[in-house]
Chains A and B, each alone.
Chain A
């Protein structure tokens, strides 16, 4: 497998970055994942972190070195993340479950598969044309589909940030799964959060990415998106992959051929170190360990017949 990959997440005008992004690959399979923790909800960044970490960890368990069922893997992982968020909320008696969007892509055997929840997007571009994409689980997308508003109206609609499916929500997530889609050399895969797509029209992205090496144009897009977002702009995140050997000059592509079975390369952008929310999850001290052992030993003695 050969590809060129770029990923970056920027805070924008916000105080915290609630986006989380990661890619990881085995010799034969590549996983890309982005989660956008929902602002206005408690612990959005925690939700995004849990979803992304769970994806990476499950991938390491399942991709040996291929996933048996890529779509099943993504669906299952999202459901597990959804359950884990519910468990997290009840563990810390949170009034609201942490919530996040999630979009994941698996490339394996020359095919792409993707799954998403919410309004983080995936575009598959071939020679500047869109050949595959996700459809937002958002209120405005629904209105557009119904013919109630136009795409232009959607872009400025007051409810454009409202989504009806997410991980950690009250109702089970709606998870969209793609078809299996063959990849061709030179295809561009883009995963991004609304912080990027709301300020960067797809056509513009497509033009920039088709003509210029992604490792040089990627950072430019990110900086520009942050600027366009302005002083109160959203977090901006993207993972961009050019499939196949690099044809544009000065581009360093990655090959997975050197990885032994069972080996993975992983890149996770997570700025957050999860703070403990209650004393119950505090680390054990040396003293507590000794005391716990002494207590168990005395219990064993007591109940020995």
Chain B
């Protein structure tokens, strides 16, 4: 028996979209690149929980057993919430939803196709240390998007480098709000979300009534930490048992500004109340960091001039 769901094949016509290829596969869905009728690329997210094997061939999703159907429909509710949340947000640093429809006995969300790569890939590919300037700029913009998300009374709850897309000009886009509708855990164990160890805040493991903007602040801090370290900080649940996390300030003192390192450490406090309490507070702290003194080379200078010319 095949143990994974079959993806739609390349060339498959899904309403007015033509599937090109599968881009990624997550716990709840498969994401494809596709083209609309004008040839514009889009990303299409197909709701198809990996823990339920529902399509072993063809295109129709078949929740055959009653138990499967229940879990399937329950997860669909979460998928709707993600769609509802994103539909309202039109911000350059948040992925844009273009369409939402039902087909093949499941549901699909069409999003703007973002070119570039994830911050995760960026971290893995990089040769040398990420510059302070890059980290600050990327996160400053990202936090603009996250602020917009919070304004709509939505928490992302899965901020991590793999969910942050970078355009070639370095501007970030926040992706994948799949985890945002958490707490579908217990009585539907098949759909239980697994938090990303290292990036999930301690309150995500247990104190669900303590979730708030500070929870996404933790994920942001962990992502910044990962940019510097190239690995995730110790998982929060393990930290609660025995905290082995060495402060950013200790590890990278002298290589990055004290202020940036202090902000990272601040975001990674275990007690939610000790972290920046809002994205705005965090942005203010990052903005207050004096830019590092850097020698301007001729090309660096030129780049600056060019970027300011094109308004980047």
* Residues of chain A at the chain B interface (Cβ within 8 Å): 46, 49-50, 53-54, 57, 79-80, 82-88, 90-91, 172, 262-263, 273-274, 276-277, 281, 283-284, 289-290, 292-293, 295-297, 299-300, 303-305
Contact = CB atoms under 8 A, between A and B. Distances in A.
A300 B100 contact: yes
Given A88-B187, A91-B185, A283 B74 contact: yes
Given A172-B241, A284-B77, A293-B107, A300 B186 contact: no
Contacts of B89: 303
A299 B183 contact: no
B206 interface: yes
A50 B237 contact: no
A262 B53 CA distance: 13
B190 interface: yes
Nearest to B237: A79
Contacts of A303: 87-90
A273 B80 CA distance: 26
Given A284-B76, A304-B90, A91 B208 contact: yes
Query: Counting chain A CB atoms within 10 Å of each CB, which of B100, B107, B187, B205 scores highest?
Result: B187
27 contacts: A50-B189, A53-B190, A57-B51, A84-B186, A85-B186, A86-B206, A86-B207, A86-B208, A87-B186, A87-B206, A91-B185, A276-B187, A281-B188, A283-B69, A283-B73, A289-B76, A290-B102, A293-B101, A296-B80, A296-B83, A296-B84, A296-B97, A297-B99, A297-B101, A299-B88, A300-B87, A303-B88
A271 to B, nearest CB: 14
Contacts of A305: 90
A281 B1 CA distance: 31
A90 B209 CA distance: 7
Interface of B: 1, 3, 51, 67, 69-70, 73-74, 76-77, 80, 83-84, 87-90, 97-102, 107, 182-183, 185-190, 192, 194, 205-209, 237, 240-241
Nearest to B66: A273
B84 A299 contact: yes
A39 to B, nearest CB: 19
A277 to B, nearest CB: 7
Nearest to A277: B187
A293 B98 CA distance: 13
Contacts of A296: 80, 83-84, 87, 97, 100
B74 A281 contact: yes
Given A84-B192, A172-B241, A295 B84 contact: yes
Nearest to A298: B87
Contacts of A53: 189-190
A90 B190 CA distance: 19
A297 B188 CA distance: 28
Contacts of A263: 1, 3
B3 A87 contact: no
Nearest to B2: A262
A91 B186 contact: yes
Nearest to B183: A91
A218 to B, nearest CB: 28
Contacts of A281: 74, 187-188
Contact of B192 (A54, A90, A290): A54
A300 B188 CA distance: 30
Contacts of B187: 46, 50, 88, 274, 276-277, 281
Contact of A84 (B67, B73, B185): B185
A111 B76 CA distance: 42
Most A CB contacts (10 A, CB to CB) among B73, B192, B209 go to: B192
B74 A90 contact: no
B87 A284 contact: no
Contacts of B194: 80
Contacts of A304: 90
Contact of A83 (B70, B74, B205): B205
B217 to A, nearest CB: 20
B209 to A, nearest CB: 6
